[in-house]
Amino acid sequence: MKRNDVNFIDRIITFVNPAWGLSRIQNRLAAGTLMRHQSYEGARRDRRTKGWNVNEYEEAALLTEIKTLKNRSRDLYRNNTYSHRAHNSIANNTTGTGIVPAIKDNRLKKAWKDWASETSVDFDENLNFYGIQNLCMRTMSMHGEVLILRIKTNKSKAQEIPLELKVISTKFLDSGKDTSLSKNGYISGGIEFDQNGKKKGYWIFPVDPSVDHSISKFWSKEDVIHLFFQDEPGQIHGVPFGSSAIISLRDFDDYSDAQLMRQKIAACFSVFITKTDGEMMGGLEPSDGDQHLERVEPGIIEHLEPGKSVTFASPPPAEGYGEYSRNILTGVASGYGMSYEAMTGDLSNVNYSSGRMGYLEYQRSIEAWQHFILIPKLCRGVWRWFVNAGIIAGVISKDADLNIEWTAPGRKMIDPVKEVNGLREQVRAGFMSWQEAVRSLGYSPDEILEELKTAAAEFDKAGIQPKCDPRFDAANLRAAEGAEASE
């Protein structure tokens, strides 16, 4: 028992009645221990948590940290192979060849295809709409957020949609523009809000601020799509994916470079020529052979003088490097929300079951990015811009059926036979609909149904019965005959 645990009253009572005083001290210490156990251990402030300094959530401080995170994330993407692969894997698996709409109105479908499939949809004329999806996802992964601007244009040709999309990074956002609350609202990190905290718009530089220090201009929120993954309530800026693993990946990069340099240095010292003690003590001049034998080349023949010996160096092995690398990169991959195999491309320890389980976990992250960010914000936001521009240009009728469904790209199957049979059994058991099964493969049910009808009519017209047509599949016919016989 420490002296600090006994207060002045305890000492007096113990002096008068030692038994009563000891009981009082014991009961008080037991109550204190119980109260400590009822609190959050992670919030303790003692020797174990000394140095664990955290700050309250402050938007101004957070913006400074996010800028540093963006710069470091961009540097890793450019110079670290694992980071480069991680961001590309996230973008490619999330968008694939494009998240496409299922449009029922034929005229509207043609207008969308003519607009979305051309690079003229891009302000910079580099990508079509589905390429823009991929760019936005990669930028959001690397920087934590991305902005898409609506550019209204005057198309010279008839039947063209007067709309272009301009994708910019948030360095164009005037994050230094901040004002306090007034009757008109306030500005925080370049985003303007009204008095109730409702977003009004963005203050954006017209050109790259690193090239020209121009004055930012206000863009209404109706003309801007701001993509970022929200981690907590009240967040207005995104954080780069893998931020929790940036330091670990940087340290691993340094460690890998050190291991490589160690092997290179060891390999440089390939041959050692040793002289005898007598020759060293005799002060003999170096022979011509010693002067010129400085490099080992293929086919070389060297005559050594008596008393000299040759030793070949063996570089030290990098013991434990593979296991250590796998452990570190597994944690880094978790920080990016993906599997170790997807990040590294190392499939040496993968079989069907482990590969599928690893991808299913990665698939949950992909579906979250698709259905929480890309589809509701990017795809539907651009669709509203497209319809509005089309109606103004007279290309789209106000009476057209504008209800559509967005279909995300399906994943590639690890074992098509097993997985297709699994989907078929789920549909037969009523656990999922045929339409849901088709969407899980990345196709539009309406388009597949129309194509099946067209194919069936073409088969009948040609008088052929291919097995790909379910009506002529022998297994299906036997099942149908068995069902009729049982009745």
Residue 93 has a pLDDT of 92
Q: Give which of 90, 133, 139 is closest to 333, Cα–Cα.
A: 90
Cα atoms in the Cβ-side hemisphere of radius 13 Å centred on 361? 14
Residue 296 has a pLDDT of 60
Q: pLDDT per position in the chain (487 positions), as tens? A: 445 556 667 677 776 777 777 777 777 766 665 455 445 666 667 776 677 776 665 555 577 788 889 999 999 999 999 999 999 999 999 998 899 998 888 889 999 999 999 999 999 999 999 999 999 999 999 999 999 999 998 865 656 899 999 999 999 999 888 888 888 899 998 999 999 999 999 999 998 888 877 899 999 999 999 999 998 888 899 999 999 899 999 998 888 888 887 777 767 766 666 776 555 545 555 555 445 556 666 656 666 667 677 776 666 666 777 788 888 998 999 899 888 888 888 877 777 666 667 677 788 889 999 999 999 999 999 999 999 999 988 888 888 888 888 988 877 676 777 778 888 888 888 888 888 888 777 777 877 888 888 888 888 888 888 877 777 776 555 555 555 555 5
Round to whole Å and give the CA distance between 196 and 444: 41
Round to whole Å and give the CA distance between 18 and 323: 61
Look up residue 451 and give its two tokens.
């194509």
Q: Are 48 and 122 in contact (CB under 8 A)?
A: no
Inter-CA distances, 55 with 62, 178, 232, Å: 10, 21, 16
Q: Are 62 and 237 in contact (CB under 8 A)?
A: yes
Write the CB contacts of 199 (distance below 8 Å, at least 6 apart in sequence): 191, 192, 193, 221
Q: pLDDT tens digits for 38-88? A: 456 666 677 766 777 766 655 555 777 888 899 999 999 999 999 999 999
In this prediction the pTM is 0.73
Q: How many CB atoms lie within 10 A of CB 332?
A: 24
Query: Phi, psi (5° rounding) for residue 98?
Result: 130, 140
Helices 106-116 & 129-143 angle (0-180, nearest 10): 60
Length of the chain: 487
Residue 376 has a pLDDT of 96
Round to whole Å and give the CA distance between 81 and 119: 30
| Range list of H helices, 314-379 | 321-335, 340-344, 352-369
Q: What type of residue sits at position 460?
A: D
Chain centroid offset of residue 237 CA: 16
For residue 435, count CB atoms less than 10 angstroms from its CB and return exposed for 0-12, middle for 13-18, buried for 19 or more: middle
Q: pLDDT tens digits for 463-478? A: 888 877 777 776 555 5
